[in-house]
Amino acid sequence: MQPPADSQTRSAPNSRSPKALLAAAKTNVELWANLLIIGWALGFMLWKGVGFAIAIGTVFAIWAILTVSLNLVVGYTGLLSVGHVGFFGIGAYTVAILTSRAEYEQLRTEAIPTFGWPFFAALPVGVLLAGVIAVAVGVVFNRFRDDIYVLVSFGFAIISFNVFLNWRGLTRGAFGIHEIPRPAVGGWVLDGELEFLVFALAILGVIVLLSWLIVTSSFGRVLTAIREDEQAIAVFGYQTTHYKLAVWTISAMMAGLAGGLFAGWTSFVDPNSFILLESMLLVAIVILGGLATIWGSLLGAMAFVLLEEGMRFLPFLPAIHVGQARLVVLGILLVLLMVFRPQGLVGRYKL
Amino acid sequence: MRPGREMIDDPFAIQTDDISKHFGAVKAVRRLSISIPKRGLTSIVGPNGSGKSTLVNLLSGVLPLDGGMVVIEGAILKAVKAHENPAHGLTRTFQEVRLFDQVSVWDNIMVVLTKRGLFSALLERVKPAQRDRARRILETVGLWDKRDALAENLSYGQRKLLEIGRAMAMEANIYLFDEPFAGLFPEMVVKVKEIMNHMREQGDTIVFISHNMDIVRELSDHLIVLDSGSLLAEGEVDEVLSEPKVIKAYLGV
């Protein structure tokens, strides 16, 4: 006897009943979503070549770390946070500032402190800082729920953006921080795109594994119970505030890791990468892929990256409008999905 | 029970001393002092709005006390905290069936069988002993075949039974059942009665709210009658039910 904890393994009691047929059709939506997105990715790779695939692969890895980690909070625990981008930014800026080198920074009009740390020393600090701030923020956030929770997390995204923009002595505001060094171990520098992709995918793999271990543990089961009825699970002896704070912090640290990776990859950070809109996109992707499913978040992130990159090649769409158009398309997709498939592409739970 | 907590040697499972609860201007429970004896079945009856469910919510820490104190299994408490219920050996069901809806029947039981601490829960995977326990409970409440279904897809009666199963999984000393028989088919009523009688045989304390006087007469050893948040009468079932004020206020005959 193996009780299925996973959404994919439900047994149909009677394969001929209309209900079972409907269930089979639903399974097909999942199957088609998988086939479409993976097929699209492969087709794209064949069409545009391996170099292009490597570049968008890294974008995918960073988005996927963000969506998988956000799903722990939004999908599993039911805390609808639109503040995730704040931790992404904290990770990115920590790495950018700690790795900043005097030889570049002196050339700038506005000097910021230079530390010259190697990437791999700065990355853990970024992750830890995201965690520390997450604990402080989470203690406050734990007092709220539902719609108010959305609003306060909204506030966090705005505050963090404004800190990045206006703490000019540290972040150089709108000018951003340039020349962030690529990750290097000893003499080996990850300056090739392929090396970086492998590195990013390896980190994504670790994040997925960690998330999987979390959601399949007893801890994960309590998270879903908190999502369904926090007061009821508290009656059975769980300190729900501790659980919420823990998963919130873990998720924020993962976002901080994605931020550090992002800084190391682009070599440049400015506040525009950490606007509220990016958080909204993240939430949209998580819902699109499916709440409380790790695979759904991976699939959603991949669909989003393919959509965004694919739209560059639409002949009637000027390149400068791609940024706006992706939001329109994503918005339409989200509305359609909420109407026809509220559980997302491969999910089982509804918001 | 925690060391350092003030304890008394108590013949009662639960005592309340002058507890109050008000919602705005509405006094749901007014300076209520009751005693629920250890072991056996105690039922709480009273008209709608008499504070029965509020009392259960106060005893299980779902609502904070506005005044007074309670003694649960000898522990004197000025504030009851919901997450300390297992430490008091107390568990409950809800009047309006509160399951984890978009979670499987199996996990609805399993979630109360696992470790409470953060780090131990993070490292814990389901063990065969827990599986056996969950299986026994699901078989007892007749939901073993439904174990993979989402709780929200069960019928009302099945949901009610699952909630009772979840309480059973706690292996508590005190069970508070808020209207366990309401809206159940006769065969399910029989099943719930069986479960409660079995608990009584094991020496547990069962407190239940019911509007069905036949069941109350049949099952209870002890009866508490509430009216407008105050105690109207308490004691042996037959004695209480023959008191004129009880007949007048509640039975309306």
Contact flag A237-B83 (C-beta cutoff 8 Å): yes
Neighbouring C-beta atoms of residue B173, cutoff 10 Å: 19
pLDDT exceeds 60 at position A288: yes
The average pLDDT across B209-214 equals 92
Of B102, B125, B148, the CB nearest to A217: B125
Within 8 A of A240 by CB-CB distance, chain B residues are: 83
| Mean model confidence pLDDT for chain A | 88
Greater pLDDT, A300 or A110 = A300
Chain A residue with Cα closest to B114: A218
Within 8 A of A347 by CB-CB distance, chain B residues are: none
b (16+ CB within 10 A) / e for A130-164: bbebbeebbeebbeeeeeebbebbbbbbbebbebb
Res B4: pLDDT: 46
Contact flag B102-A242 (C-beta cutoff 8 Å): no
| Mean model confidence pLDDT for chain B | 92
| Residue A167 in tokens | 């703490």
Res A351: pLDDT: 72
pLDDT-based confidence at residue B206 (cuts at 50, 70, 90): very high
Of B82, B94, B114, the CB nearest to A221: B114
Contact flag A217-B124 (C-beta cutoff 8 Å): yes
Minimal CA separation from A201 to chain B, in Å? 25
SS3 A56: helix
Residue B17 CA to chain centroid, in angstroms?
19
| Interval A171-187: pLDDT, tens | 988 888 988 888 888 77
Of A11, A218, A233, the CB nearest to B121: A218
Chain B residue with Cα closest to A212: B122
Q: Are A294 and A7 in contact (CB under 8 A)?
A: no
Res A27: pLDDT: 63
Question: B226 has which bridge partners?
Answer: B231
Whole-number Å distance between alpha carbons of B4 and A267: 58
Minimal CA separation from A192 to chain B, in Å? 37
Res A167: pLDDT: 92
Greater pLDDT, A31 or B222 = B222
Contact flag A234-B82 (C-beta cutoff 8 Å): yes
Classify the C-alpha dihedral A6-A7-A9-A11 as positive or negative: positive
Within 8 A of B137 by CB-CB distance, chain A residues are: none
Of A11, A216, A225, the CB nearest to B100: A225
Q: Which residue has the tokens 């897809």?
A: B153
pLDDT exceeds 80 at position B156: yes
The average pLDDT across A263-275 equals 93
Query: Domains plus CATH for chain B?
Result: 1-89+172-253 (3.40.50.300), 99-171 (no CATH)
The average pLDDT across A194-214 equals 96
Res A282: pLDDT: 94
Q: Which of A2, A14, A142, A235 is the best substitution to test chain B (most B C-beta atoms within 10 A)?
A: A235
Q: Are A300 and A288 in contact (CB under 8 A)?
A: yes
Of B85, B87, B121, the CB nearest to A219: B121
> How do beta strands B90-92 and B174-178 pair?
parallel
The average pLDDT across B38-66 equals 93
pLDDT exceeds 60 at position B161: yes
Euclidean distance between the first and the last CA atom of chain A, given in angstroms as a whole number = 31
Greater pLDDT, B119 or A45 = B119
Of B82, B103, B106, the CB nearest to A225: B103
ipTM passes above 0.95: no
Instruction: Please count the residue pairs, one from chain A and one from chain B, whose beta carbons lie less than 8 angstroms apart.
Output: 108
Of B94, B122, B170, the CB nearest to A232: B94
The average pLDDT across B3-10 equals 62
pLDDT exceeds 80 at position B98: yes
> How do beta strands B40-45 and B90-92 pair?
unpaired
Contact flag A236-B107 (C-beta cutoff 8 Å): no
Contact flag B98-A11 (C-beta cutoff 8 Å): no
Whole-number Å distance between alpha carbons of A351 and A338: 10
Minimal CA separation from A344 to chain B, in Å? 15
The average pLDDT across A129-152 equals 95
Whole-number Å distance between alpha carbons of B103 and A198: 36
pLDDT-based confidence at residue B251 (cuts at 50, 70, 90): low
In SS3 terms, chain B reads as CCCCCCECCCCEEEEEEEEEEEECCEEEEEEECCEEECCEEEEEECCCCCCHHHHHHHHCCCCCCCEEEEEECCEEECCCCHHHHHHHCEEECCCCCCCCCCCEHHHHHHCCCCCCCHHHHHHCCCCHHHHHHHHHHHHHCCCHHHCCCEHHHCCHHHHHHHHHHHHHHCCCCEEEEECCCCCCCHHHHHHHHHHHHHHHHCCCEEEEECCCHHHHHHHCCEEEEEECCEEEEEEEHHHHHHCHHHHHHHHCC
The average pLDDT across B115-122 equals 94
List of E strands, chain A? 184-185, 188-189
Res A107: pLDDT: 66
Of A233, A239, A240, the CB nearest to B111: A233
| Interval A15-46: pLDDT, tens | 567 777 667 766 678 888 888 889 988 888 88
pLDDT-based confidence at residue A50 (cuts at 50, 70, 90): confident
**Would you call A31 exposed, middle or buried from its count of C-beta atoms within 10 A (0-12, 13-18, 19+)?**
exposed
Tell me what percent of the residues of chain B surpass a pLDDT of 70. 95
| Interval A306-329: pLDDT, tens | 888 888 787 787 777 877 787 788
Q: Which residues of chain A approach chain B closer than 8 Å at the C-beta? A: 1, 3-5, 10-11, 214, 216-219, 221-222, 224-225, 227-229, 231-240, 242-243, 246, 348-350
Euclidean distance between the first and the last CA atom of chain B, given in angstroms as a whole number = 46
Res A4: pLDDT: 45
Within 8 A of B110 by CB-CB distance, chain A residues are: 3, 221
pLDDT exceeds 50 at position A95: yes
Contact flag B121-A239 (C-beta cutoff 8 Å): no
Res A49: pLDDT: 84
Q: Which residues of chain B approach chain A closer than 8 Å at the C-beta? A: 60-62, 82-87, 91-92, 94, 98-104, 106-107, 110-112, 114-116, 118, 121-126, 131, 134-135, 147-148, 166, 170
| Residue B17 in tokens | 């001393």
